[in-house]
Amino acid sequence: MTAPGNIGATPQGSASAQARLQYVLRLADTSLILGQQLTGWIGHAPALEEDLGLANVSLDLVGQARLLLAYAAQLEGRGRSEDELAFLRAPADYRCVQLVTQPNGDFADTLVRQFLFDAWQRELFERLTASRDVRIVEIAAKALKEIEYHVRYSAGWLVRLGDGTEESHARAQRALDQLWPFTTELCTADELDQLMLKQGVGPDLVDVARAWSTRVDAVLGEATLRRPADRPYRWFGKRGEHGEHLGYVLADMQFLPRAYPGAAW
Amino acid sequence: MLDPEIPVISVVDLGIVRSVELAADGTLEVSVSPTYSGCPATEVIRAQIGAALERAGLAKHRVRDVLSPPWTSDWITEVGRAQLLEYGIAPPSAPVASPRRLLNDAPVACPRCSSKDTERVSEFGSTPCKSLRRCRACREPFEHFKCI
């Protein structure tokens, strides 16, 4: 990629700024919704260490989301805050990938979802550190170090579950089979991804997909899990095409700010 | 000014305070870097710095977030590392750039008995910056300030 320049000087309201905003929202919403979902395990995880582990990963993700949403609000130029973007949009306006909107399920469902995501986010964010958008570079560089810890955590659990008991293996394989169709979106570039690549803002998803696939194969191999066959999936959360579960996640997340507008403490 | 979560180490020794400068308009500008993206102590630290400056009579001030280059545990001073150790937290075990750090298999010494025979119990501890470990020699658990 070309050297970073101050590409934040795009005039607000222009088509180019709109595209940049949508792209940043994809990154922001993906981290936000996954972070929110992981909080559902607090107080309910199978062991205290995993309660802390999932909560810490969640905290890192929400931290990423805050930085990205603050940048999105700036790009939007309508004077909205990161909180307004987080809590007051309708489901169809979120640009998170479908994978992170899938239900927590059991521990295997959550950790399989987490690993498939972490391995992808790691490749994506590593390449984003070479973006022409200076702010994206800063946020990605900051988050990348934390993501390395996330990958190690979730990959470790995938191996323990897969190469564990008959029960843990069966649950992990079932989770993998059910979540695999949502990985199509992670690895498929749409028009916005292609535009960002052309502008030097976003990476080539073919490259990301290849690296992701290599790591996934390595971990699944060690976990004695079978890689499911690809099943092309049409709906992309990054285009605002969501299943019903996002509605439940947002109802939980947005209730308080919507019920008490402007509440602060 | 002490870290609110680890009240024995100052935010300067943690490398959180990046610089203190007098801006052209006479405002005192303190630049800080968050340790972790989601660290909840960051806002408390920012508020406390502001309060400390007010108490010192330096009313015209602002605290600025600096994200780049990202904070690294390498910036913890020797004084800071000693303070962590005395408090019972193992300081970061290896410089971030070292190959051993990448594999994260640099041995971590027990803050109580100094034995290097310790094992990791959990990647994440009571705060995002720490992991939970156990000493196989004296059997005590302790936290390790992670290398990042």
pLDDT digits (tens, 9 = 90+) for A57-99: 999 999 999 999 999 999 999 999 999 999 999 999 999 999 9
Per-residue pLDDT, averaged over B50-77, amounts to: 89
What ipTM does this complex have?
Answer: 0.84
pLDDT reading at A156 higher than 90: yes
Task: Give the pLDDT score at A5.
Answer: 38
Share of chain A above pLDDT 70, in %: 95
Each residue's pLDDT tens digit, B7-29: 888 888 989 999 999 988 889 99
Q: Residue A254: which H helix or E strand, with range?
A: helix A245-259
Q: How confident is the model at residue A3 (pLDDT cuts 50, 70, 90)?
A: very low
Task: Give the pLDDT score at A24.
Answer: 98
Each residue's pLDDT tens digit, A217-230: 999 999 999 999 99
> What is the rounded average pLDDT for all residues in chain A?
93
Q: How confident is the model at residue A13 (pLDDT cuts 50, 70, 90)?
A: low
Strand, helix or coil at B106? coil
Task: Determine the residue of chain B that is closest to A134 in CA distance.
Answer: B68
Each residue's pLDDT tens digit, A122-145: 999 999 999 999 999 999 999 999
Rounded to whole angstroms, the maximal C-alpha distance in chain A is 58
Strand, helix or coil at B22? strand
Q: How confident is the model at residue B42 (pLDDT cuts 50, 70, 90)?
A: confident
Nearest-neighbour CA in chain A from B72: distance (Å): 9
Supply φ then ψ for residue A85, to 5 degrees: -65, -40
**Does the domain formed by A12-259 have CATH 1.20.1560.10?**
no
Contact B38 A139 (CB under 8 A): no
Q: How confident is the model at residue A175 (pLDDT cuts 50, 70, 90)?
A: very high
The two structure tokens encoding residue B78:
């020797």
> What is the rounded average pLDDT for all residues in chain B?
87
pLDDT reading at A234 higher than 90: no
Q: How many Cβ pairs closer than 8 A exist between chain A and B?
A: 75
Closest partner CB to B123 (pick from A35, A53, A61): A53
The two structure tokens encoding residue A265:
């403490």
Task: Give the pLDDT score at A14.
Answer: 78
Per-residue pLDDT, averaged over A110-119, amounts to: 98
Residues of A with CB below 8 A from B122's CB? 49-50, 52-53
Task: Give the pLDDT score at B104.
Answer: 57
Nearest-neighbour CA in chain A from B35: distance (Å): 9
Distances (CA, A) of A20 to A135, A142, A241: 12, 20, 19
Each residue's pLDDT tens digit, B64-90: 889 888 899 999 999 999 999 999 999
The two structure tokens encoding residue A254:
């947005």
Q: How confident is the model at residue A101 (pLDDT cuts 50, 70, 90)?
A: very high
Task: Give the pLDDT score at B103.
Answer: 45
Domain ranges of chain B: 1-71, 78-145
Task: Give the pLDDT score at A7.
Answer: 44
In angstroms, what is the C-alpha Rg of chain A? 18
Cα B40 from chain centroid (whole Å): 13
Rounded CA separation A19/A95 (Å) = 12
The two structure tokens encoding residue A220:
């699944």
Residues of A with CB below 8 A from B41's CB? none
Q: Which amino acid is at A58?
A: S
Rounded CA separation A149/A138 (Å) = 18
Lowest mean pLDDT among A6-20, A153-167, B42-56: A6-20
Strand, helix or coil at A245? helix
Contact A56 B128 (CB under 8 A): yes
pLDDT reading at A6 higher than 80: no
Closest partner CB to B68 (pick from A50, A60, A141): A141
A43 and A33 Cβ atoms separated by less than 8 Å? no
Q: Which of B42, B124, B147 to mutate to test the interface with A (most CBs of A within 10 A)?
A: B124
Select from A52, A59, A53 the least CA-distant residue to A32.
A59
Phi-psi region of B117 (alpha: psi -120 to 50; beta: other; left: phi over 0): beta
Domain ranges of chain A: 12-259
Residues of B with CB below 8 A from A67's CB? 37, 67
Closest partner CB to B125 (pick from A52, A145, A146): A52
Closest partner CB to A53 (pick from B38, B69, B124): B124
Contact A60 B40 (CB under 8 A): no
Each residue's pLDDT tens digit, A16-33: 889 999 999 999 999 999
Nearest-neighbour CA in chain A from B78: distance (Å): 23
Lowest mean pLDDT among A43-52, A144-153, B1-10, B117-126: B1-10
The two structure tokens encoding residue B74:
């390498």
pLDDT reading at A1 higher than 60: no
Comparing A21 with B128, the larger pLDDT belongs to A21
Residues of B with CB below 8 A from A60's CB? 36-38, 128
Closest partner CB to A63 (pick from B38, B104, B127): B38
Closest partner CB to A64 (pick from B37, B68, B123): B37
The two structure tokens encoding residue A125:
């964010």
Q: Residue A184: which H helix or E strand, with range?
A: helix A183-187
Q: Which of A41, A58, A59 to mutate to test the interface with B (most CBs of B within 10 A)?
A: A59
Q: Which amino acid is at A51?
A: D
Q: Strand pairing of B28-32 and B17-22?
A: antiparallel
